[in-house]
Amino acid sequence: MRRILTPSSFLTSTLLSAGFLLALLFVWWWNSRAPTPIVLTPTLTGKPEYCLTCHADLPEISASHPVETFGCVTCHGGERLVLDKDLAHSSMRGGANPSDLSVVEASCGGSNCHSGSEADDRHHIQRVTTSIQATYAGAIANIRFTFGAQTDLSPHYGIHAVSDDKTQTGIQSLLAFDPFSESNPNIQKFGEECLTCHINATPREGDAYARQTGCAACHTPLRLPSNSENLGGVSRRDEGGGVHALTTAIPYTQCNTCHNRGNYNLRTMTFDERTDHSTIRLYDYYQPIAQFTKCEYTLDCIDCHTRSEAMGDGDIHADQKSIEYVQCKTCHGTPTELPLTKTLTDPNDLAFRLAFLNPVIDLKLGDTILVTEKGEPLWNIRVLPDGTYEMYGKATRQYFTFRPVMGSGCTQTGEDQSSSYCHECHAVER
């Protein structure tokens, strides 16, 4: 009964065995192509993550968020163990931008992080989400009032619904604005064309408007000003079009991605983009009839405007006017009054924290700095022994000294202190 293998069946067996062995070798070779995993176990979570396998060359996002402490997943989400790009990225919060307001609480929040208590000045997320930069409440109320959808200018709507239980402004909540439920076509068109400036909006197309959303709209500068060689800690946009950086040294060019980019045309309800591309700072302002003093086109926006003006103060406001309050006199005083000052005696003073985050000045205990009318520290301006002031540019580290108005030849009355009065004498003609 026993049969000897025929030549053809021997050949088949050999070929199949060889094929199977080849297939196994192929698996071995295929597996060996995978990159060597790079593990990081951040001290904050104690859980290993493998993001650095591909992202090892990414610069650290900021000195306050060292990767050894935070890792990547704490902020970005994602599948920390997965080495397949699509799956690893599939559960990331906010795509490449975890600070988008839709996910910011999960990414940046938490009582130990940026949704801490108001007493500690750590309620950043609450401040931003109620701020007019995020709600756009003033513009919406104005447009609705103009086209008859409401009888006064009080705000009822924001870009997103928001509430404030401990309101100081009397505005407890805003409903989410839905332009498509409006009957007036102009308001509808406003909704379609003009909602590109609040910080969670996808910006208009074009390099001039390029910015992220959420916190990163301001804190992740994509563009650098022409004097960027003075800039510390702000990294340039990488080849992929993104930036892995967070900074409080925000150059004016970042503000300009929304501000100074053109004007809204209320008749056509469209945005008229500016067409000039000035490289001279003075002409970078897009207000044809406006006047500017030297500090307005030399300093950066954040050198004068405070954190509560830019990020909100935790209350819902009706318009820009009710949150913006810094004037020339805040730093320079009036002919009869010196600017307000504060001598730093508490090592936990907010001024030290802010100077630590953006170390342009070596503040010490006993230093006297300027403060605003609302008590916010102007921590980059220090009183010198001779009664003049020194100032360090927050974004540029430029050094300036300046004098108070008091004792100068200025004859302006103490009551008339808005910028237009100062521009009468101090403006530079364009």
Partner 1 sequence: MRPSFFHHLHPPAIPAAQARWRHTLGAGGTAVFLMLLLGVTGILEMFYYVPNPEEAALSVQTLTYHVPFGGFIRNLHYWSAQLLLIVSAVHLLRVIFTAAYKYPRRFNYLLGLGLFVLAVMLDFTGYILRWDQGICWPLTTGTNLIKTIPLIGGFLFRLAVGGGDACQTALTRFYTWHIFALTLPVVVLGVWHAFRVRRDGGIATPPARLFLDRTRIPRDELVRREAAAMFIVGILLILLSVFFPAPIAPAMIDKPSLNAETRAPWFFLWVQQMLKWGDPFIFGVLIPLGILTLLALIPYIFPQPADSDIGRWFPKSNRLAQVVVTVIAIFVIILTLINT
CB of 26 to partner 1, least distance (A): 7
- Positive or negative torsion for Cα 327, 328, 332, 334: negative
C-beta closer to partner 1: residue 35 or 366: 35
C-beta closer to partner 1: residue 37 or 414: 37
CB of 82 to partner 1, least distance (A): 5
C-beta closer to partner 1: residue 23 or 56: 23
CB of 6 to partner 1, least distance (A): 10
Which residues does 326 contact at the CB level (< 8 Å), separation at least 6?
A: 304, 305, 306, 309, 372
CB of 163 to partner 1, least distance (A): 24
CB of 28 to partner 1, least distance (A): 8
C-beta closer to partner 1: residue 84 or 238: 84
Pick from 94, 41, 86: which is nearest to 217 by CA?
94
CB of 27 to partner 1, least distance (A): 6
Q: What is the 3-state secondary structure of 273-294?
A: ECCCCCCCHHHHCCCCCCCECH
Question: 3-class SS at 265?
Answer: strand
Rounded CA-CA distance 321/121 in Å is 23
C-beta closer to partner 1: residue 93 or 211: 93
C-beta closer to partner 1: residue 1 or 280: 1
Question: 3-class SS at 308?
Answer: helix
Parallel, antiparallel, or unpaired: how do β-strands 368-371 and 399-402 relate?
Answer: unpaired
Where are any strands of DSSP class E within 159-210?
A: 162-163, 173-176
C-beta closer to partner 1: residue 19 or 95: 19
Instruction: Report the DSSP beta bridge partners of residue 391.
Output: 381, 400
CB of 30 to partner 1, least distance (A): 5
Please state the separation of Cα 195 from the chain's center in Å: 18
Residues constituting the chain: 430
Angle between helix 185-193 and helix 137-146 axes, rounded to 10 deg: 150
C-beta closer to partner 1: residue 1 or 119: 1
CB of 180 to partner 1, least distance (A): 24
Find out whether 243 and 235 touch, Cβ atoms under 8 Å.
Answer: yes
Please state the separation of Cα 126 from the chain's center in Å: 14
C-beta closer to partner 1: residue 92 or 222: 92
Site residues, partner 1 (CB under 8 A): 1-3, 5, 9, 12-13, 16-17, 19-20, 23-24, 26-27, 30-31, 37, 50, 79, 81-84, 87, 90-91
Which residues does 385 contact at the CB level (< 8 Å), separation at least 6?
A: none
CB of 117 to partner 1, least distance (A): 24
**What Å distances lie between residue 43 and 21, 40, 47, CA to CA?**
45, 9, 8
Find out whether 87 and 58 touch, Cβ atoms under 8 Å.
Answer: no
